[in-house]
Chains A and B, each alone.
Chain A
Amino acid sequence: MNAFDWDAVGEALPLLLEGFRVTLLATVLGTLVAAVLGLAIAVAGRAPSRLVTVPVKAVMEFIRSTPLLVQLVGAAALFTSVEPLTIGIVVLGVHYATYTSEVYRAGIDGVPKGQWEACRALSLSPRRTWQAVILPQAVRNVLPALGNYAISMFKETPFLAVITVQEMVFEARKYGADHFAYTEAFTLAGLVFLVASYPTSLLMRKLEKRLGH
């Protein structure tokens, strides 16, 4: 009874891989949202007007001070007519944007003061200063850190199961319940996570080295 059922592993694998597609989709799109929104928050945080910076800070504090799980359930309850997967992607993206914005902020702060002064001395517009000079340098500095957040988000996608998104862990639980083979299904899911994220983090480390961090 306690023996590891290898047949169950073979049976569960196709189901889990089906779920893995959803996991991957949520991660990629969620990362995209986090990357773009985080950048917008970081730039808005440097706005000269407190009318912009204060509300942005307040929302960020709120999101960072509450658990992802609660935000998912809350959003699902608020927007009942929206697809659970869409809610999951947006909530993941927004949640992580509050962290990536800090990463971008550090990257922007890391651009030497002389770069801003050179832009001013050349009369570049604020828009051109950001677009052509500051952001390309800032983003290059933070790419590895952003990659690490993407991996971390990847491992948090199982929370989406709570709002009925049929990602991999959702499938694993379903298979486990149907066949009473939780150990096999969850071990397999864990292995798939490992196989996917370990090479990615190796890749990130390589990227970090190439960028000279």
Chain B
Amino acid sequence: MATDSAPLKEPADATPATGTAAVEPLVRFDKVVKRYGDHVVLDELDFTVRRGEHVTLIGPSGSGKTTILRLLMTLEKVSDGVIWVDGSPLSHVRTADGSLKPAGEKQLRESRKKIGMVFQQFNLFPNMKVLQNITEAPVNVLGMAREEAEARAVDLLDLVGLSGKVDAHPSQLSGGQQQRVAIARALAMRPEILLLDEVTSALDPELVAGVLDLLGDIARSTDITMLCVTHEMNFARDVSKKVLMFDAGRVVESGSPEKIFSDPEHERTREFLNAVL
């Protein structure tokens, strides 16, 4: 019995022993280039995000921060380079000879399932009630039973503080409430990575704090990996573990929020922080 199972068991034991899974970051940009015509937005960008990390991307407008999120969500295609997520190429497939070629729409749809995104303009579906906004993808993409999806949606609405709005239409909600629904909608897909693209920029000032608090709670209470583009330096300071300062399509500086905000090394970072704080 023992001798029979030994050969089967060995590879199973060997997998964690190699240790690559633990070292390999969840997200790795490998010389990623994004061009629009002649305009280079990202220039051979390299950076990594570890599993469970909460990273804030800061930098002046046009520095390519939002483009990074859009590439990760596969809303845009890389011009060159490869994005790796969990050890697999995000928007490429391996050919027979081992080289990588751009993935088709079907494969992209598979890749996207691990990643969720919350948009600046919420982008809720106005033709659906709040509940259906949240259950649409779990039911139709993950194949979840409707009752289960609805029960989870109710829990998520509770989490974002909107338990009374199950039957409301998005147009009946304030911007802050809409953004909370959008966060619940993204979480309903149980993404490994949550992308937050200036999620408070379109909100009235008095609604910003509530949404940021909610995101802080989510960051603390889940192991979800978060990439956040924001102009809210408080959020960067309080929620994220790592801040990346971008300028002209490159990472100028990265480090803990304490380090970046109190003792930035790079002149460009100092200028930027002086301008926004």
Contacts and interface: CB of A to CB of B under 8 A. Distances in A.
B276 to A, nearest CB: 26
A117 B137 contact: no
A125 B142 CA distance: 11
A113 to B, nearest CB: 9
B123 A133 contact: no
A118 B109 contact: no
A114 B179 CA distance: 14
A124 interface: yes
Interface residues of B, number: 26
B52 to A, nearest CB: 21
B123 A114 contact: yes
How many residues of A sit at the interface, in one of the four size bands?
A: 10 to 19
Interface in A99-135: 112, 114-115, 117-118, 120-126, 128, 132-133
A121 B121 contact: no
A137 to B, nearest CB: 5
B180 interface: no
Interface string B114-145: 01110101011111100000001100110000
Contacts of B121: 112, 114
A126 to B, nearest CB: 8
Contact of B137 (A122, A126, A136): A122
Given A117-B75, A132-B136, A132-B140, A123 B125 contact: no
B185 interface: yes
B78 interface: no
17 contacts: A112-B121, A114-B123, A117-B123, A121-B116, A121-B117, A122-B116, A122-B136, A123-B109, A123-B113, A123-B141, A124-B137, A124-B141, A125-B109, A128-B141, A132-B125, A137-B127, A140-B127
A-B pairs, top 6 by smallest CB distance, nearest first, are A122-B137, A118-B123, A114-B123, A121-B117, A136-B127, A123-B112
Interface of B: 73-75, 105, 109-110, 112-113, 115-117, 119, 121, 123-128, 136-137, 140-141, 185-186, 189
